[in-house]
Amino acid sequence: MPGSNDKPLARFKLRKAIRIIGSLFYGLLLILGAILLAQILTGGTSNPFRKQGYITKKFEAAESVFNKFYGHQECGASLSEIYTPPEPGSDQAKLHTAFCPTRKVLLEALSNGGRNGLDAPYNPRGCHYRWFTTEEICMILSRFESIILIGDNALQSTYGGLNILLRKDLATGALRHWEISSEQRENCKCDRQFSAGECQPFLIAESKQMVARDQAQVSSSHPYACSKPNLISTLKHLLPSSRAESHRPIPIVTSFSSLSLSPSVSTQSLNTLAHTLHNLLPKRKTPILTLGPPAAGSSISAKAVAQSGNDKRIFYSKELSTISANGGDFEWLGTWNLTIQAESLDGERYGVRVAVVEAMMVSVSNRLSHSTPESD
């Protein structure tokens, strides 16, 4: 009968109409997506990373957090005195490429930078690095099973700077301050926590010292900001405890320059370290980052100059940098340029400003270790 197919026909027309509308809507989304992508690729305002004020706002936010660190006024260390972000300018393409694109380029830029005067902010050469907040550093560290720092006294500055950033404490963040008397604590604040001999025994040697204190619920004015820090300073102490099923990388940060300014001795030590890591963890990524020696300051003793003056440090740095670039089992991060115009009380050890910049260099380079092989 003529009326028997009216309802099925109506449902068929309705479904067809829905499909047509859906196709039109999907096509509209594709068009809008293409327009959005085109704006991003051509420097349009849809990309927030290319907005004129984006870098400035990010820096102001980081500076606001940094200026809330304990001791920032007492130590006279504001972020603007330590770090200068790239200038936004009017060239949108240049703004987009202001930051170093790969870990290799970043390490070269950080190693070969300079300052515009004594204790001025350190600027990499050719491209820039980002300054992360403590919370962002925690996110970077969470990407790894652990980060191992193993080496000499020069590496203590980097590790101390990392503790300062994680504890948000510029005055005593590198120290086990709970073991120090009130009088000693006053004498060990700010730069002196690194340079004063009486403060050296109280420097934090491994993260377990802080973690155990926090877990025991002992009053600590500045605990770690991260819920699960993994910063261990001894290689063999850490590796056996690593979970077999975990595949997250374990970056190794080393420094052997104060033990010997012999490139051959250091290279042999690094090769042995790489071989040991490969045997212990054959399926795990364990990239090695080696820090070069700091500059010898003007206050260094004549005996120290004869044994390890700047000429020897420069030669050592150039040799290790070349070995790394020619396929060595390690990456190289020089610190001579960073410290040559930095103030030092004894010509060997530097203060808070150098320590936190070194720590940020290591954090930033570890973040870029997730870049693709092609970009490395």
Query: Following DSSP, what letter does each residue of 223-242 receive, concatenated?
Result: --SSSS--EES-HHHHGGGS
Q: Among candidates 331, 224, 227, which has minimal Cα distance to 270? A: 331
pLDDT digits (tens, 9 = 90+) for 70-86: 998 899 888 888 998 88
Residue 41 in this model has a pLDDT that exceeds 80:
no
What is the DSSP secondary-structure string of 252-318? Answer: EEEE-TTT---HHHHHHHHHHHHHHHHHH-TTS---EEEEPPPPPPTT--HHHHHHH-HHHHHHHHH
| Residues 96-111 pLDDT 10s | 578 898 999 999 999 9
Question: Would the pLDDT of 266 be above 60?
Answer: yes
pLDDT score, position 345: 77
Give the mean pLDDT of 274-297: 89
d(CA 52, CA 73): 30
Higher pLDDT, 115 or 42: 115
DSSP notation for 107-159: HHHHHT-B-SSTTPPPB-SSSB-PPPPHHHHHHHHTTSS-EEEEE-HHHHHHH
φ and ψ at 290, to 5 degrees? -105, 130
CA angle, residues 111, 117, 121, in degrees to nearest 5: 55
147-183 pLDDT tens trace: 888 887 788 899 999 999 999 999 999 999 888 888 8
Are 342 and 353 within 8 A, CB to CB?
Answer: yes
Residue 201 has pLDDT above 60, yes or no: yes
pTM of the model: 0.76
